[in-house]
Amino acid sequence: MMELDDSQLERYARHVVLPEIDEEGQLKLLGSRVLVIGAGGLGSPLLLYLAAAGVGHIGVVDDDVVDLSNLQRQVVHDTTRVGSPKVESARARLKEVNPEVVLEPHHTRLTPANALDLIGDYDLVADGSDNFATRYLVNDASYLAGRPLVSAAIMRFDGQLSVFRAHQGHGEDGKANPCYRCLFGEQPPGDPKQSCADVGVLGALAGAIGSLQAIEVVKELLGIGRSMSGRLMLYDALESSFRTVKVSADPDCPLCGENPRIRQLGDVDYGLAEAVCAAE
């Protein structure tokens, strides 16, 4: 069996000392491949914590460049990188955080044409995208590729987080695992008048929810603790309150239900061109 070398034992000492992780779990993290959708508000803490944790191979999909208005919450980027592709900015920062980790930049937009190939190359997907079209596409592609999805969203002062494992059928409690569509139903129609810049968000909210998302990614990779599949966490920053609600699979879900209509990504018009800003 492989072992951690001396410098790894030191770098990851606070993980290795946890019986739930130990040297074996740390080696598992080093051998894991995670795809992060979006290097924005949620992607920033997510990428930083996954790299620091020693998740060995991290892919990141984002077609955008760093804008000055991003820096209020997108802490993986800094002022010197305004105008650079976000995936390159993130790669440079993560190399400083942990040179052991490989960051694979995908400077492109996730589309029905590339989603299955991209997602199929990783063990798990973490969605921090900023629009509904991409969220539905990530859900469908993760389900069809058979990959667990850790999904988070933020808007204004509210955050939400869940894990989707519908491709695996039933969870440990014997209940069917829901997918994103089971919870949120039909994709909202595009509204070209609303742009992402119109929607405000408290900067530190991205840090809070993106960090919780990183925790769930590590739990899913290691299979420790209680999975958030079948549960949705809601955070209200103005109320300073967390709420976790149970969510169930929809037997009529067009993707994971009993009579699925979506059998391939080409079956859906995601409307990526007029994507509505959801959150990130």
Report the interface residues with Zn ion, using CB under 5 A: 179, 181-182, 253, 255-256
Residue closer to Zn ion, measured from CB, 41 or 257? 257
Q: Looking at beta carbons, which residue is closest to Zn ion? A: 253
CB atoms under 10 Å from CB of 60, counted, come to: 27
Residue closer to Zn ion, measured from CB, 183 or 201? 183
Query: Minimal distance in Å, beta carbon 82 to Zn ion?
Result: 40
Helices (H), the chain: 6-11, 13-16, 22-30, 43-52, 86-97, 115-120, 132-145, 180-184, 203-222
Residue closer to Zn ion, measured from CB, 42 or 255? 255
Query: Minimal distance in Å, beta carbon 7 to Zn ion?
Result: 44
Query: Minimal distance in Å, beta carbon 214 to Zn ion?
Result: 25
Residue closer to Zn ion, measured from CB, 182 or 212? 182
d(CA 216, CA 62) in angstroms, rounded, equals 22
Query: Minimal distance in Å, beta carbon 255 to Zn ion?
Result: 5
Residue closer to Zn ion, measured from CB, 126 or 256? 256
Burial 21-53, CB ≥16 within 10 A → b, else e: bebebbbbbbebbbbbbbbbbbbbbbbbbbbeb
CB atoms under 10 Å from CB of 145, counted, come to: 18
Query: Minimal distance in Å, beta carbon 58 to Zn ion?
Result: 27
